[in-house]
Amino acid sequence: MKKLLLLSFLLLLVAIFAAACGGSTSASDTNDAVAAGKALFMQKTIGTNPGCASCHSLEPDKVIVGPSLAGIAPDAAGEAKDAGISTEEMLRQMITDPNAEIAGGFQPDIMPQDWGTQLTETQLNNIIAFLMTLK
> pLDDT per residue over 39-80, tens digit each?
999 999 999 999 999 999 999 999 999 999 999 999 999 999
Instruction: Say if 10 falls within a structural domain.
Output: no
> pLDDT per residue over 3-51, tens digit each?
433 333 433 333 333 333 444 568 899 999 999 999 999 999 999 999 9
What is the CATH number for 48?
1.10.760.10
Look at residues 47, 49, 54, 84 and name the one whose alpha carbon lies nearest to residue 69: 54
The 3-state DSSP class for residue 105 equals coil
Query: pLDDT at position 4, please?
Result: 35
Q: Is the pLDDT of residue 85 over 50?
A: yes
Instruction: Say if 20 falls within a structural domain.
Output: no
Q: Which residue has the higher pLDDT, 28 or 89?
A: 89
In terms of DSSP bridges, do strands 49-50 and 45-46 run parallel, antiparallel, or are they unpaired?
antiparallel
Query: pLDDT category, 128, cuts 50, 70, 90?
Result: very high
What HEC string does 42-91 produce?
Answer: HCCEECCEECHHHHECCCCCCECCCCCCCCHHHHHHHHHHHHCCCHHHHH
**Burial annotation 13-34 (CB, 10 A radius, 16+ → b, else e):** eeeeeeeeeeeeeeeeeeeebb
Query: pLDDT at position 24, please?
Result: 57
Instruction: Say if 19 falls within a structural domain.
Output: no
Q: Are 40 and 124 in contact (CB under 8 A)?
A: no
Within the chain, how many helices (H) and strands (E) appear?
A: 7, 2
Give the domain range for residue 125: 30-101+111-135
Query: pLDDT at position 21, please?
Result: 42
Instruction: Say if 67 falls within a structural domain.
Output: yes
Look at residues 78, 72, 85 and name the one whose alpha carbon lies nearest to residue 128: 72
Question: What total number of domains does the chain contain?
Answer: 1
